[in-house]
Amino acid sequence: MRLEGKVALITGAASGIGRESALLFAAEGARVVVADLLADRAEETTQQIVAAGGEASCVIADVSRGADCEGMVRHAEERFGRLDVLFNNAGIMDARDGDAQETEEATWDRTMAINLKGVFFGCKYGIPALRRAGGGSVINTASFVALLGAATPQLAYTASKGGVLAMTRELAVLHARENIRVNALCPGPLRTELLMNFLDSEEKRQRRLVHVPMGRFGEASEMARSALFLASDDSSYTTGATFSVDGGITAAYVTPE
């Protein structure tokens, strides 16, 4: 039980990486706060955990709103008494996101508000809670496109995830002496609802997949197992890391400086 006695707050836990991580963290002994804007699906995740014998609580939160993020952290401490793991996972991939000419300001602003400001708000209110618990782990979901750029244009998404990487590195340095670790999980292309809805044709999917050395899309459950490592004490000497779980795509295309 790698998370025995720990309390984990996971945003975007109604589906995809968030749901798989919530289920896995609970199976590994964590008490889980399931945070999402989609009330019915968040409750579904919570009930799956409870049905499997775990302990979880659901909170509805829009991560682009500071008050909601403050509230979800308060919920974790009031319900379970502490916070040990903060997984800032919520994010969007807007189908209207394109190149600099195509992307409308509203699409840019919405993407930044959720993908980047949402992580900022999570850390703003979550890190003090980790400090009150004596330390803990922050995991921020970034993306391989923050390291490579995307073959299918998605400028706002790529820029937002680059910001998540930069913020992760700085927070890791700032809080390293407080027993608070901050790492970025960088998934490769995944077979999730989020990406499949964005890559809405077989041509788009093959254009993305052809670059992956392993020749397949990753699964949300594989990202959850990687997040478990970062959440647990197994990664006790890991902070400020860009943890790429991407089927080899960055190894194939990133040239060391």
For residue 218, give the DSSP letter.
Answer: B
**Own/partner long-range contacts of 237-241 (Cβ < 8 Å, ≥24 apart):** 238/181, 238/183, 239/172, 239/176, 239/181, 239/182, 239/183, 240/168, 240/169, 240/172, 240/173, 240/176, 240/182, 240/183, 241/172, 241/183, 241/184
In the set 125, 157, 237, 253, the catalytic residue is 157
Taking CA 114 as the corner, what is the angle to CA 223 and CA 185, rounded to the nearest 5 degrees? Answer: 25
Under a CB-based contact definition with an 8 Å cutoff, are residues 90 and 45 in contact? no
Sequence-ordered strand ranges (E) for the chain = 7-11, 31-36, 55-60, 85-88, 136-141, 180-187, 242-245
Alpha-carbon distance 197 to 192, whole Å?
A: 8
CB atoms within 10 A of CB 245: 17
Under a CB-based contact definition with an 8 Å cutoff, are residues 13 and 19 in contact? yes
157 included as an active-site residue: yes
Taking CA 98 as the corner, what is the angle to CA 96 and CA 100, rounded to the nearest 5 degrees? Answer: 125
Q: Which two tokens stand for residue 173?
A: 């340095």
Task: Give the count of alpha carbons within 13 A of 82, CB side only.
Answer: 15
Report the amino acid identity of residue 57.
S
Q: List residues with catalytic annotation.
A: 157
